[in-house]
Structure 1
Amino acid sequence: MYIVSIGVDISSTDVDVDLTITEKISRELPLILPKGVKSAISNITGDDIVITSFTPEELIEGVNRSVVNLLRKHAKGFKDLNGISDNPEGAKEGISYAVAKAGSPYGDSIVVSFDTYGGENIVNEMALFVEDIGIKYGYDVGISVSENPKKIPGVGYTGKETDDPVVVITFEDLQDLPKLAGLIFGGLLSFENLYLVRSGSPVEILPPGVICTMSAFLNGNVIDLYPGIVKRVKRIL
């Protein structure tokens, strides 16, 4: 079993997502996927939506294709979707794609999503930092950042210019979640112009900068970790 995250900007603006889009996608998502697949909108980060799925390996291609078709159906902006190509040479800025092997029977994982307004030159470094944390502590990690065009099974290729990265970290024991979330949050504090925000928040920063959301994907259920992290920090202070 695998955790697959697809992040894409399908908004008509550069700062937020129309809630009617997310409502339609959430309503239709369970209807388009085969039995045995659990899928949900895990993150809404600025103008980016991330759909995360818990799926058997043999269904990944079909799940990817169905998710992208659903996104295309409800999109109000097509720049990322139009960046997809059938071959690496034609791929441009497009979908952020990350996949990791599930560590538990429930597909428990953390999904970190970034959106940037003028911070394109630093955002990949932030995502790679999150990846390093997961690898250092022995977790399976998937990341959308790539030095070359990335193949999305069942969909095509997305270009290396893709600039709103997604990182997926899977774990076996639910007790690992607070530790892992704390490590990620604490580590990201070292970056200037980066803001951890509540999922669904628009870009409300002083550009140039980056916002990120962190969600737990647990047996197909999604928990925005921002409120819990804020409460934990307040308790410590």
Structure 2
Amino acid sequence: MKLTVFGADISSNDVSCSKSLIKNINKDIPKLLDLGAYRAALTNVTGDDLVIAAYVEDDLLEEVNRGIIHLMRDNAENLGDLTGISEDKESAGEGVSYAEADVQDDIYPDSVILHFDTYGGEPFVEDVANSTIQAASNFFAVHDVCKPISGKVRKIPGVGYVSNETDDPVVCATVNGLESMGTIAFSMIGAALGCKNTYLVEYGTPCNVIPGSVIVSATAFMNGNTLDLAVPFENKTRILR
């Protein structure tokens, strides 16, 4: 089984996602289950970008990936990142962000998904995202972590190619063991926040930051349930007096 994750800007503005867009995406998520996904959800809404993720058997990965793109296209207020997808490398443009990771088959699938949004495609976001991948890689309880952001043309199974101009990355790590979720998730968040001009936001927060900054949302995708990790992270990091 795999975790497949797509991030895209299909909003009508450059700052936020409308309530109607979020509602319409959520309404159509069951279509992915009809295609064979074990679980699927709108996991992150970060500025004007959103993330759809699914747990899917390996042999259905390409079909479910195509289904996610079709779902985004059917509900898009603006085709945005969808226009950058191409069947060949040479024609690929700035497109959807993608991450995938293997899932252990004999346990409930749990994962951490971090999603980044920039106002102007700030290039240092790649280093921020890769720092979170490196942080997750250090834990024994991490079953798998997505490939680093490479700044190269990327082939997405079942979908096509996107160019190295693709920004606003999404990263993921699959976790074995419920007790390890907090340690892994907070380490990934900490790695992001340790980078310059990077700010943690809750699900659905507009990109109200000074240009030159990056916002990141963090979600625990627990057997199909989504938990916004910004709230417990804020509570956990309060200084007790």
| Pairwise TM-score range, normalised by the shorter structure | over 0.9
Q: Secondary structure at the match of 1:175?
A: helix
Answer yes or no: is the 8 Å Cα contact 2:130–2:148 preserved in 1: no
Decide which of 118, 133, 136 is 1:134's aligned counterpart: 136
Aligned match of 2:82:
81
Q: TM-score, normalised by structure 2?
A: 0.93
Shift of 1:207: 1.7
Q: Distance in 2 between matches of 1:236 and 1:54?
A: 39
Whether the 8 Å CA contact 1:144–1:166 is kept in 2: the answer is no
Look up the match of 1:212.
216
* CA-CA distance at 1:101 after TM superposition: 0.4
Moved more, 142-151 or 5-14: 142-151
CA positional deviation for 1:151: 1.0
Q: Percent identity?
A: 38
Report if aligned partners of 1:108, 1:171 keep a CA contact under 8 Å in 2: yes
Q: Are 1:179 and 2:180 an aligned pair?
A: no
Gaps spanning 5+ residues in structure 1: where? none
- Following superposition, the deviation at residue 229 of structure 1 comes to 0.6
- Letter of the 1:29 partner, please give it: I
CA offsets 1:117-164 (integer angstroms, 9 cap, x no match): 135211000000011111222431114723321111111111111110
Matched, 1:161 2:162: no
**RMSD, aligned α-carbons:** 1.6
The reply on whether 1:95 has 2:99 as its aligned counterpart is no
Greater displacement, 196-205 / 23-32: 23-32
User: Which runs of 5 or more residues in structure 2 are unaligned?
Assistant: none
> In structure 2, the residue corresponding to 1:25 is in which secondary structure?
helix
Contact residue 25 and residue 74 of structure 1 kept, 8 A? yes
CA distance in 1, matches of 2:72, 2:190: 33
Quickly say closer, same or farther: Cα 1:14–1:148, change in 2 above 3 A: same
* Residue number in structure 2 paired with 1:40: 41
| CA shift for structure 1 position 35 | 4.0
Of 2-11 and 101-110, the range deviating more from structure 2: 101-110
Superposition misfits of 4+ residues, deviation over 6 angstroms: none
Q: Which whole-Å CA distance do the structure 1 matches of 2:189 and 2:28 have between them?
A: 33
- The number of equivalent residue pairs is 237
TM-score normalised by structure 1 residue count: 0.95
Residue in 2 aligned with 1:66? 67
